[in-house]
Amino acid sequence: MADLLLLFDGFKMDLGESGFYALLGLVMVFVGIALLVLILWLLGKIIIFVKSKAERSADPKQEKSSASEDGSLSAAVQEEGISPETVAVIAAAVAAYLGSGSQNGAQCDFVVRRIRKL
């Protein structure tokens, strides 16, 4: 035990100096955490910007026309045994429901992608 006390003889410092180092350590930790938060926030903003730019570059009108021209919905529905009349009724009902809440005769951009029997 005496040897252990002799080891600490070289590390004697007064209360002010130890308080300074404690405060310096706390400040450095908080600055490091703040930098990490800032870096992650900037990365999130960059990702959102890149995603929005990619979505703007894709043409949504082209996707709708290609789906309706391809007939992929009708082919998929006929494979499951649902008649095209049933698909038309379901699509009309959903469009009427979503369109009833709109004002000024705004059109509904709803597109039926798939219908499955449960």
Domain boundaries defined on the chain: 14-58, 60-118
Query: What is the reported pLDDT for 86?
Result: 81
CA distances to 20, 27, 40, 46, 47 from 34, rounded to whole Å, are: 21, 10, 10, 18, 20
**pLDDT higher at 65 or 116:** 116
Query: What is the reported pLDDT for 65?
Result: 47
- What is the DSSP code (8-state) at residue 103? S
| Chain CA centroid to CA 5, Å | 57
- Report field, pTM of the whole predicted structure over 0.75: no
| Chain CA centroid to CA 17, Å | 48
Q: Give 14's Cβ-side CA count (13 Å radius).
A: 1
In the predicted structure, residue 31 carries a pLDDT above the cut 90: yes
Query: What is the reported pLDDT for 87?
Result: 78
Each residue of 102-111: pLDDT tens digit? 555 556 666 6
Query: What is the reported pLDDT for 2?
Result: 62
